Structure 1
Amino acid sequence: MIELPLVSCIMPTANRQKYIPFAIQYFLAQDYPNAELVIIDDGKEPAYSLIPDNPKIKYFYSEPIGTIGIKRNKACEKAEGEFIMHWDDDDWYAPDWISRQVEAQNKSGADITGLNQVIFYSPSIEKRWMYMDTDQEKPWLCGATMAYRKYFWEKHPFIDIQVGEDYDFVWNSGAKIFAMDYIHGFVAILHAHNTSIKPVENPKHKKQAVGWKEPTQETES
């Protein structure tokens, strides 16, 4: 049997003890067997007690590192996989998310794959939205859904900024991008401490309310 390539899911985090167990749970539920979760934590208190003893999970704690861009670079440095995938600590990923991303990477020939249509959910107000990219000049991919090969990151590391490092990675790297159609494979959770740009704050993209059904493992063609 041919061994599947190693996938490194990178998860920068800080002071997110409330969310970390769920992020780990979603990772361990993946049907893709050859993956690792690389957690970079520079919060006030380490989250050691929340990290299970599992060889697939690599946890690194340190004093404050800097911006999200720098933390992503640190995580990519620690990653041993051929593929790198973003794994946000406060979002939901379907159990076949990694498998679908690897398939998209291999079939599309793109440098970066991800979603340009994203379901956002706000638990505090129990509202859900579909976030849609309509910009033809500067196509967008959701940072929390990005995947790319490690060698591409080595040529185009993230810049040292706290918000928008993922936009820069797409727009200024000269990357060929591919938008997956697996919109029910990921749900972005909105809360008071998001570091990414919320859909209502970014006028560049069109957002429209849509009907909702609970995310499932069903694929879309």
Structure 2
Amino acid sequence: MKQPLVSCIMPTANRHKYIPFAVDYFLQQDYHHAELVIIDDGKESIAPLLPEIPNIQYFYTPPLGTIGAKRNYACEKAKGEIIVHWDDDDWYAYDWISQQVNFLLSSGADICGIKHIHHYSAIMQAFWQGDAENRNNPNSKPFLAGATMVYRKSFWEQHPFKDLQKGEDEGFVQTPGAKVFAHDYIDGFIAMLHPDNTTIKSFENRNHKKNH
């Protein structure tokens, strides 16, 4: 049985030092019928950092605006029937794509991903697990980390991302009628945090409050 084509979408801008790692994680995948779709609207093109191979599609554009707009642009360019989010500064296990596809197909869900996330900060020399579960509204769908989402392109075509800089992933998950499945392959993804990352700032603020 032929594997479905998977498009890993990676919006990026001014993140040159992370790009070689993101590309390497993709090239190490054990799922081979896949493409990496890179949308770059940064000040300087990252093209010199990319290998010239058919399954890496690179688009350098004028500023596109919000992350929601960038995700929509990436999905438009994607050739695959399945979309996998691929953040430019995070770590993905070698079998991440194959696991994501299996969870999506076996669960019958519209959107899959994880809600319990491993975080690592080299600067702080800290490793911890964050609970992204939405407890404020027990009747809402599971919260999924945006960097870990997988869904069919046909679903996105009916429910594109909102034009938002923050919260576009949560709005996507909360699409009325969407079946959402939070799987348990939490060891396949690590959020790599850095000074410009809002998550690490929240972690620092939480520690500061605990220590005073």
Common topology (TM > 0.5): yes
Contact 1:10 1:76 in 2 (8 A): yes
Asked if residue 181 in structure 1 is aligned to residue 181 in structure 2, the reply is: no
Alignment map for 1:88-99 (pairs within 5 Å): 88-99=87-98
Counterpart residue number, 1:71? 70
Contact 1:156 1:173 in 2 (8 A): no
Gaps of 5+ in 1: 203-221
Give the counterpart letter for 1:36 in structure 2.
E
> Could you list the per-position Cα deviations for residues 37-89 of structure 1 after superposition, in whole angstroms to 9, with x for gaps in the alignment?
00000000001100101111000001111110000000000001010000000
Indicate how the Cα distance of structure 1 residues 78 and 173 shifts in structure 2: closer, same or farther if over 3 A, else same: farther
What RMSD in Å do the two structures reach over aligned CA positions? 1.4
Counterpart residue number, 2:139? 137
Give the fraction of aligned pairs with identical amino acids, expressed as a percent.
Answer: 59
What SS does the corresponding residue of 2:16 show, helix, strand or coil?
coil
Contact 2:195 2:201 in 1 (8 A): no
TM-score scaled by structure 2?
0.90
Counterpart residue number, 1:30? 29
Residue correspondences, number = 199
Alignment map for 1:190-209 (pairs within 5 Å): 190-194=193-197, 198=199, 201=202
Report the structure, 1 or 2, having the larger helix content: 2
What SS does the corresponding residue of 1:45 show, helix, strand or coil?
coil
CA distance in 2, matches of 1:137, 1:161: 24
What SS does the corresponding residue of 1:131 show, helix, strand or coil?
strand
Contact 2:4 2:80 in 1 (8 A): yes
Give the counterpart letter for 1:118 in structure 2.
I
TM-score scaled by structure 1?
0.87
The structural deviation recorded for 1:191 is: 1.1
Counterpart residue number, 1:100? 99
Contact 1:131 1:199 in 2 (8 A): no
Gaps of 5+ in 2: 204-212
CA distance in 2, matches of 1:19, 1:40: 14
Alignment map for 1:1-221 (pairs within 5 Å): 2-132=1-131, 133=133, 135=135, 136-138=138-140, 139-194=142-197, 198=199, 201=202
